[in-house]
Amino acid sequence: MSKIDDLLEIEPFSLAPNKKEKIFMEAVRESLVFHYNNCENFRKFCKKRGFNPYGKYGLTEVPFLPVEIFKTVKLISVKEENISKNVFSSSTSGNIPSSIFLDDVTSKRQRKSLNKIVSSFIGPERKIFIIFDAEKTITSKDGKLSSRAAAIRGMLPFMKKAFFILDENLELDRNSLRMAVNSVGKSERVCFLGFTFLFYETMKKNANKKDVVNLFKKISGSYVLHLGGWKRLQNLKIEKLEFNSDLSLFLHTKPKKVIDVYGMTEQLGTIYLDCEYGYKHVPVYSDIIIRDIKTLKPAKDGNSGLIQLISPLPNSYPGVSIISDDIGVIVNKDGCKCGRKGKFFLFRNRAEKAELKGCGDTLRNGL
Amino acid sequence: MKFKVLLRNGKICDDWSEEMDTIINELRKRVSYLHDLPVMDIINFLDRVGTFWQNEFKKEFGMSLNHLIETLRKENLITTLDTALRKKEALDGFVKFREESVFYHAQPRGLAVHWVAGNVPLLGLFSVFQTLLTKNVSLVKASSKSYKDMVKLLDSFSKVNTEKIKGSDILKSITIIIVDRNDKENLEKMSMAADTRIAWGGQEAVDSLMILRKRFSTVDIINGPKYSYALIGKEALEGDVKKLAQRLAVDVSVFDQYACSSPHTVFVEKGGKIQPLEFAKELADQLSVVNRMMLPKGNTDPKKVIEILELRAKYEFSGEVFSSENTDWTVIYSEEEGLAQPCFSRVVFVRPIKDVDAIESYNNRNKQTLGLEMSLNRRLKLADKTTLYGVDRCPRIGTMSFFDSPWDGEFALDKMVRWVTCYG
């Protein structure tokens, strides 16, 4: 069995940092060596950076690829015929979506990781999922899958039944909602799932509509998993605490059951969920390093910087170590009150596009 | 809508005001004061300001102040004025040029309104100097993001006196304000009051100015969005390459490439003593030296950091990248043809070129400065050929970002005056 498979046998939040370090590093090394040998571009990249995956190095020395590179360069570490899915990002940070090529090995690892991580937060038992999205969203076209679809599909193992309550125009479909609510038995557990901005939009349009509010009242105490889309809320100056509070009122649940899910299309499977204390937890299957914006060196805990994500799970593409345009801060390496072991952090914001206003501004008419 | 007043009547302030008309009238009253000052007195005063800045602000502003100080040197001001106006004395009264019976006088247009870009606020000062030299009063609309340096430097006029000019008096000819971009009423008032509209800015800023109404007699001096690049001929590689690379590194670093005159692409002619790739390495070394010793780079915003990292990664697959450990500077070498899309923030693309005449096709009116380093003969020939459809300046490497006259294809000093004739 590979080191990566070994890693996936461990419970996601069961290891203290000193216990995790060696096991995780072995898996990362295995992954880096694999991509070095199987992806020419990655090999070139490592060589240019003077990095030898066979050599001696620590986690902070592993070179990182910017997430944006997946938009412009096709990066694959397996034969094309082994690619089973092409996941493309929601493209909120630019015009070109990232394109990630998945083989069965990667998908299997991602499913396993996702199951274990999510179970730690909402429990392992299957639930009725009420999804704030349209059913057509999850359909794949010519083997291509949007990251929204991939995220929803990733939750399938937790679904006893799934109800999509938005119509094709992403407006609330009352009939679907009614049907979903009526299907919930007394002892049954419910989980709301959807993209952050769709929750926000639906809530904004329906928070004052009594019939809608009353329907949600019938199913109280549910978990809410909302994913991605903070950039749009950031633009609207919506604060996370305010959003959680409003959404919990709208869906008749407790704010601590509203869980923000952070993750990257470029590293599906290793996601970071908020615990009841509002911190995002790093599972044993991945790690994050906060890089100082000026020096790009690891920032001290408590200092904010760019979030670098490291995961040995990707097999079909060299997404082992990536740096995002998200700003975050590590709260501590261990010791969250929620009881989960390992590093926990806060997502601060997504970096805004650099504004150029001077006479050297990019020319609209091109070069 | 209220607007913020930062400098008025020779004094720094931090007031909100609704009195745009009053401010404009106050300034207009100063036109006759400036008109009556002999131009040599103004030149002497500005020269003294340069010395004052050299002594007082050199440490604080570093090398970025050098060029401003250099511009204010008496000899430079005299030459610049004489070149633009033929005789600087025309600013003081009627003078003869060639014709025996015709007298010419350069009267100030009156009120110059400046729209200054946020990312290179010090560039706006060049225009303020020019308006003073031509005896115009100035209303400066500063950027809300970066006005402090400009206000600080101009306010220091009040600490400089010559035998003929009291700094606090001449400072009354300049008012600095911040007006919200949505305050159409005040922006239009400024535009309608302007005898000269001067803009430093990107496309958006220039477009928003162009839609404002103005009087038919108002003259526009628009320093809009432009692209600049450099070309190094093979004979230039025979000499001190290290020095040449250092001069180029200064051009790249001085405004972090946010000025229209900053080079983004550097073509290096093949067949020289050293290969273009070697020159790229030398440039990288010199960018490091300049960053360490002369022009330390400030903070880079996170999005730009990611953009730079992405570019580096992309070219690590297909070219050569030489860079700092952080994102302070980057040299990207590739064998691509044509001009690179600018990234800004000290990211420079080095490309080999076999036939230097090929650059002719890269030029249009969006190109401003072409830094040229080759023999004078070749330089003049190439400059003539390549500037037919674009490029307004062909300085030597190391002086690309030196503001000079003409700029953007015109003598701004000449546009700031109204030529009047009288006959003998």
pLDDT at A227 over 50: yes
Q: How many CA atoms lie within 13 A of A209 on its CB side?
A: 11
Q: Which of A69, A294, A352 sits opposite B314 (nearest CB)?
A: A69
- Spacing of C-alpha B88 from chain mean position: 22
Radius of gyration of chain B (CA): 23
pLDDT at A9 over 80: yes
User: Residue B162 corresponds to which tokens in the numbers above?
Assistant: 């010559």
* A54 DSSP assignment: T
Q: Which of B262, B303, B325 sits opposite A360 (nearest CB)?
A: B262
Contacts of B201 in chain A (CB under 8 A): 357-359, 361
Cα separation of the two ends of chain B: 52
Contact A354 B307 (CB under 8 A): yes
| Rounded Cα gap, residues A239 and B182, in angstroms | 26
| Rounded Cα gap, residues B406 and A225, in angstroms | 62
Q: Which of A73, A297, A323 sits opposite B314 (nearest CB)?
A: A73
Residue B336 in contact with partner chain A when CB distance is under 8 A: no
Note the pLDDT of residue B318: 87
Please write the tens of the pLDDT for every residue from B358-385: 999 999 889 999 999 999 999 999 999 9
Pair B408, B226: CB distance under 8 Å = yes
Average pLDDT rounded to a whole number, residues A227-241: 76
Contacts of A67 in chain B (CB under 8 A): 306
Average pLDDT rounded to a whole number, residues A38-59: 95
Note the pLDDT of residue B71: 92
Q: How many other C-beta atoms lie within 10 A of the C-beta of residue B147?
A: 22
Tokens 């990630």, located at residue = A100
Share of chain A above pLDDT 90, in %: 59
To the nearest whole Å, the CA of A54 is away from the closest chain B CA by: 20
Contacts of A365 in chain B (CB under 8 A): 366
Please write the tens of the pLDDT for every residue from B140-150: 999 887 788 89
* Parallel/antiparallel/unpaired status of strands A280-281 and A159-164: unpaired
pTM of the model: 0.88
User: Residue B17 corresponds to which tokens in the numbers above?
Assistant: 């005001």
pLDDT class for A259, splitting at 50, 70, 90? very high
| Rounded Cα gap, residues A148 and B130, in angstroms | 57
User: Residue B380 corresponds to which tokens in the numbers above?
Assistant: 């003049």
Please write the tens of the pLDDT for every residue from A116-161: 999 999 988 888 999 999 988 877 776 677 778 888 888 888 888 8
Average pLDDT rounded to a whole number, residues A92-114: 81
Contact A360 B143 (CB under 8 A): no
pLDDT at A58 over 90: yes
| A291: three-class secondary structure by DSSP | strand
Q: How many other C-beta atoms lie within 10 A of the C-beta of residue B89?
A: 18
Pair B76, B94: CB distance under 8 Å = no
Q: Which of A352, A361, A365 sits opposite B303 (nearest CB)?
A: A352
Note the pLDDT of residue A96: 64
Please write the tens of the pLDDT for every residue from B92-123: 999 999 888 999 999 999 999 999 877 666 77
Provide the angle, in degrees to the nearest 10, between the axes of the packed helices B20-29 and B184-193. Answer: 20
pLDDT at A92 over 60: no
Beta-bridge partners for B407: B410
Share of chain B above pLDDT 70, in %: 99
pLDDT class for A357, splitting at 50, 70, 90? low
Contacts of A361 in chain B (CB under 8 A): 201-204, 225
Pair A287, A345: CB distance under 8 Å = no
Instruction: Fold for B3-224+408-423, please state it.
Output: Aldehyde Dehydrogenase; Chain A, domain 1 (3.40.605)
Average pLDDT rounded to a whole number, residues B409-413: 95
Note the pLDDT of residue A95: 56
Average pLDDT rounded to a whole number, residues B223-230: 92
Pick the CATH number of B227-386 from 3.40.309.10, 3.40.50.150, 3.30.450.20, 3.40.50.300: 3.40.309.10
pLDDT class for A235, splitting at 50, 70, 90? confident
Note the pLDDT of residue A185: 80
pLDDT at A212 over 60: yes
Contact A363 B120 (CB under 8 A): no
Tell me yes or no: is domain A3-350 CATH 2.60.120.10. no
Contacts of A357 in chain B (CB under 8 A): 117-119, 143, 201-202, 204-205
Optimal mutation site among B210, B223, B264, B310, interface A, most CBs of chain A within 10 A: B310
Contacts of B384 (CB under 8 A, 6+ apart): none
Q: Which of B119, B317, B339 sits opposite A358 (nearest CB)?
A: B119
List all residues of chain B from 42 to 81 with a beta carbon under 8 Å from chain A: none
- The continuous run of DSSP H or E covering A324 comes out as strand A321-332
Please write the tens of the pLDDT for every residue from B155-204: 999 999 999 999 999 999 999 999 998 999 999 999 999 999 999 888 88
List all residues of chain B from 5 to 24 with a beta carbon under 8 Å from chain A: none
Contacts of A293 in chain B (CB under 8 A): 299-302, 305
Average pLDDT rounded to a whole number, residues B329-358: 96
Note the pLDDT of residue A218: 86
Note the pLDDT of residue A147: 75
Please write the tens of the pLDDT for every residue from A170-194: 999 999 999 988 888 877 888 999 9
Note the pLDDT of residue A97: 67
Q: How many other C-beta atoms lie within 10 A of the C-beta of residue A249?
A: 14
Q: Does residue B108 have a cis peptide bond before it, meaning omega lies within 30 degrees of 0?
A: no
pLDDT class for A363, splitting at 50, 70, 90? low
Q: What share of chain A is helix, strand, coil (3-state, %, to 5)?
A: 35, 25, 40
| Rounded Cα gap, residues A20 and B57, in angstroms | 54
Note the pLDDT of residue A364: 46
| Rounded Cα gap, residues A138 and A147, in angstroms | 9
Q: For residue B29, what are the CA distances in angstroms to A288, B59, B137, B172?
A: 63, 37, 9, 10
Q: How many other C-beta atoms lie within 10 A of the C-beta of residue B374?
A: 20
Optimal mutation site among A67, A306, A357, A362, interface B, most CBs of chain B within 10 A: A357
Q: Which of B118, B310, B344 sits opposite A69 (nearest CB)?
A: B310
Note the pLDDT of residue A187: 78
Note the pLDDT of residue A225: 93
| Rounded Cα gap, residues B11 and B356, in angstroms | 53
Residue B367's closest chain A neighbor by CA? A367
Q: Which of A351, A353, A359 sits opposite B201 (nearest CB)?
A: A359
Residue A63's closest chain B neighbor by CA? B313
Q: How many other C-beta atoms lie within 10 A of the C-beta of residue A186?
A: 4
Please write the tens of the pLDDT for every residue from A302-313: 999 999 999 999
Contact B204 A357 (CB under 8 A): yes
| Rounded Cα gap, residues B339 and B319, in angstroms | 15
Note the pLDDT of residue A353: 65
Tokens 């076999």, located at residue = B354
Note the pLDDT of residue A91: 53
For the purposes of burial, counting CB atoms within 10 Å of the CB of A300, is it exposed (0-12), middle (13-18) or buried (19 or more)?
exposed
For the purposes of burial, counting CB atoms within 10 Å of the CB of B406, is it exposed (0-12), middle (13-18) or buried (19 or more)?
middle
Average pLDDT rounded to a whole number, residues B23-52: 97
Nearest to A160 by CA among A126, A194, A121: A126
Average pLDDT rounded to a whole number, residues B224-246: 95
Residue A285 phi, psi dihedral angles, 5° rounding: -80, -5
- Write the secondary structure of chain B as one string of H (helix), E (strand) and C (coil): CCEEEEEECCEEEEEEECCHHHHHHHHHHCHHHHHCCCHHHHHHHHHHHHHHHHHHCHHHHHHHHHHHHHHCCHHHHHHHHHHHHCCHHHHCCCEECCCCCEEEEEEECCEEEEECCCCCCCHHHHHHHHHHHCCCEEEEECCCCCCHHHHHHHHHHHHCECCCCEHHHHHCCEEEEECCCCCHHHHHHHHHHCCEEEEECCHHHHHHHHCCCCCCCCEEEEECCCEEEEEECHHHHHCCHHHHHHHHHHHHHCCCCCCCCCEEEEEEECCCCCCHHHHHHHHHHHHHHHHHHHCCCCCCCHHHHHHHHHHHHHHHHHCEEEECCCCCCEEEECCCCCCCCCCCCCEEEEEEECCHHHHHHHCCCCEEEEEEECCHHHHHHHHHHHCCCCCCECCCCCCCCCCCCCECCECHHHHCEEEEEEEC
Domain locations in chain B? 3-224+408-423, 227-386
CB pairs under 8 A between A and B: 141
To the nearest whole Å, the CA of A328 is away from the closest chain B CA by: 12
